[in-house]
Amino acid sequence: MSNVDQCQPNILFVDDEEHILKAFKRLSRGQNWRVQTTTNPKEALKLVSSENIDVVISDMQMPEMDGAEFLKNVRNIHPQTGRVLVTGFSDMKALGRSVNDAAINNYIEKPWDDETLKETINQLLDNVKTEKNLKLDHQKRVSISRKLGRLNIGLEKKLKESKIEIDQALHLLYGTQSKEHRVSSDLLSAMFNSIDLLNQKRRSNKFVADVSAMIGEKLGLKDAEVDKLRIAGMFHNIGIIASENVRQQQSNIWQMDAMEKARYQSLVSISASIMNGLPSLSSVADVILKHKEKLDGSGYPVGLKNEEVPIECRILGLVSDFELLYDGQLVSGIKGFKAAIGYLKKYQYIKYDAKVLHCMSQCVNEAFIDKYLTILTKEQHQLLPGMMVAKDVLSHSKSVLLPAGTLLSFEHIEQLRKYEQRTKHALKIDVRQTTN
């Protein structure tokens, strides 16, 4: 392989039809990729084992080995390789299996759009590059930690000489960790705000997140499990970002035809796939993937039953269904607090966990829900972390300082304080005083 080839990202297309592979090759023209194709999944696995493949794009329907099984094997051989599934509407159930078993990074519907597929591949290549850089950063931190250990052995003897070196190493070690944490937090915040802007609901996903976490605490889940549940609640419908028809999320589900319902239900798998793209949130992705499963097996995308549905998924599923019922979106004729609770009680022990419903009934009433709807106008000094910005916060020149949907943190409040101090311009901020 030439030096040029080694610098190029390595892309592998797998499909049992030659004309599809030719189409893949055509769309790759003009891209800085090294492209390989094969009709044989077993041959493709050999390539993944022997070469550094950056991204694999696989068809779902193949005779020797379907795309879900193939990409699962790719993941086992080389977890860092990006995995994209090409699928049709008839494969929607298999898509859930692919997200769960193969942890695919994305999927493309047939017939695909060339520009969308190219953009998907390039985004995955950026992710692969970022993960490699993070791995190098981790190795650097390990090296620094070992260095600190060696320095500590001779600390008494050479304390004065080593102090500067230790301080520099500690600064680099903790500075890198802090930077990574900051980037992750900013990314999650941006994703959360995007969902709320697209949702256009009266309540934020924070309602689902907060209530799910409260139920988890009442049921005695560990702190880590409650945190996982809260994050899953915040991002359970993040798939709307990737959906071509976002408005279906606002439609009444009971009015959808079969095709619209299939698209709507696919959002669960898409949401899980997006969260799988962040390795530290893979356990959150699993909760999102299974939260629409029901105890009687009538849920989706897989049709799990009874104990196959984890407790976190039972909690998130009940709370998200309650919100849809409350808004009149899930079942014809069911709308409002009493009707929603009545429906859930009717199907406890059948679709829903009775203990989870009992805990929610203790946590949630109409007054509680009103807190997520009531907009209050506050001055900067009255703001508290956890409040949600209800309307864009504008500067005196009408530029956006904070977008609607932002969950206020200490850092946000401090930024607003400094803005007022610098400009002498007093702000009035509309917030929803949500409950933590």
- Residue 422 in this model has a pLDDT that exceeds 50: yes
Whether residue 71 lies inside any domain: the answer is: yes
Whether residue 304 lies inside any domain: the answer is: yes
DSSP helix/strand/coil, 245: coil
The Cα–Cα gap between 169 and 171 comes to 5
Given a contact cutoff of 8 angstroms between Cβ atoms, the answer to whether 434 and 386 are in contact is: yes
Nearest to 155 by CA among 167, 143, 142, 171: 167
Query: What integer is the mean pLDDT of 51-68?
Result: 89
Kindly state the tokens that stand for 163: 């102090």
Are 344 and 422 part of one and the same domain? Answer: no
Nearest to 272 by CA among 254, 257, 293, 253: 293
Cα pseudo-dihedral 97, 98, 99, 104, rounded to 10? 170
Query: pLDDT digits over 238-262, tens only?
Result: 777 655 554 444 568 888 888 888 8
Q: Which of 106, 122, 138 is the last residue of a domain?
A: 122
Cα pseudo-dihedral 123, 126, 130, 131, rounded to 10? 70
Whether residue 159 lies inside any domain: the answer is: no
pTM, 2 dp? 0.55
- Residue 84 in this model has a pLDDT that exceeds 50: yes
Return the DSSP state at 99: I
pLDDT higher at 233 or 168 = 233
Return the DSSP state at 101: I
CATH number for the domain that contains residue 232: 1.10.3210.10
Are 53 and 79 part of one and the same domain? Answer: yes
Given a contact cutoff of 8 angstroms between Cβ atoms, the answer to whether 254 and 331 are in contact is: yes
- What's the total number of domains in the chain? 3
Are 345 and 407 part of one and the same domain? Answer: no
Are 418 and 366 part of one and the same domain? Answer: no
Are 233 and 324 part of one and the same domain? Answer: yes
pLDDT of residue 434: 55
Given a contact cutoff of 8 angstroms between Cβ atoms, the answer to whether 71 and 79 are in contact is: no
The Cα–Cα gap between 195 and 404 comes to 11
The Cα–Cα gap between 207 and 369 comes to 8
Nearest to 13 by CA among 136, 262, 346, 34: 34
The Cα–Cα gap between 57 and 11 comes to 8
- Residue 3 in this model has a pLDDT that exceeds 90: no
Kindly state the tokens that stand for 58: 């696989």
CATH number for the domain that contains residue 409: 3.90.105.10
Query: What integer is the mean pLDDT of 21-28?
Result: 90
Question: Which CA distances in Å does 92 have to 99, 102, 176, 267, 365?
Answer: 11, 15, 41, 10, 37
Are 300 and 210 part of one and the same domain? Answer: yes
pLDDT of residue 156: 40
Range of the domain at 53: 3-122
pLDDT of residue 241: 60
The Cα–Cα gap between 46 and 74 comes to 10
pLDDT higher at 16 or 1 = 16
Minimum mean pLDDT range among 85-94, 217-226, 394-403: 85-94
Query: pLDDT digits over 317-352, tens only?
Result: 999 999 899 888 899 999 889 999 999 999 999 999
Q: Which of 324, 353, 371 is the last residue of a domain?
A: 371
- Name the H helices within 277-365: 282-290, 311-326, 337-346, 354-363
E strands, 27-185, in order: 34-38, 55-59, 82-87, 106-109
Are 38 and 75 part of one and the same domain? Answer: yes
Are 281 and 337 part of one and the same domain? Answer: yes
pLDDT of residue 243: 57
Query: What integer is the mean pLDDT of 82-100?
Result: 68
The Cα–Cα gap between 86 and 81 comes to 16
Whether residue 195 lies inside any domain: the answer is: no
Question: Which CA distances in Å does 28 have to 34, 85, 265, 285?
Answer: 9, 17, 31, 31
pLDDT of residue 45: 94
- Residue 182 in this model has a pLDDT that exceeds 60: no
Are 350 and 209 part of one and the same domain? Answer: yes
Report residue 298: phi and psi, to 5°: -90, 0
Nearest to 144 by CA among 126, 181, 170, 105: 170
CA gyration radius, the chain: 25
The Cα–Cα gap between 92 and 89 comes to 6
Q: What is the residue-averaged pLDDT of the chain?
A: 77
pLDDT higher at 306 or 402 = 306
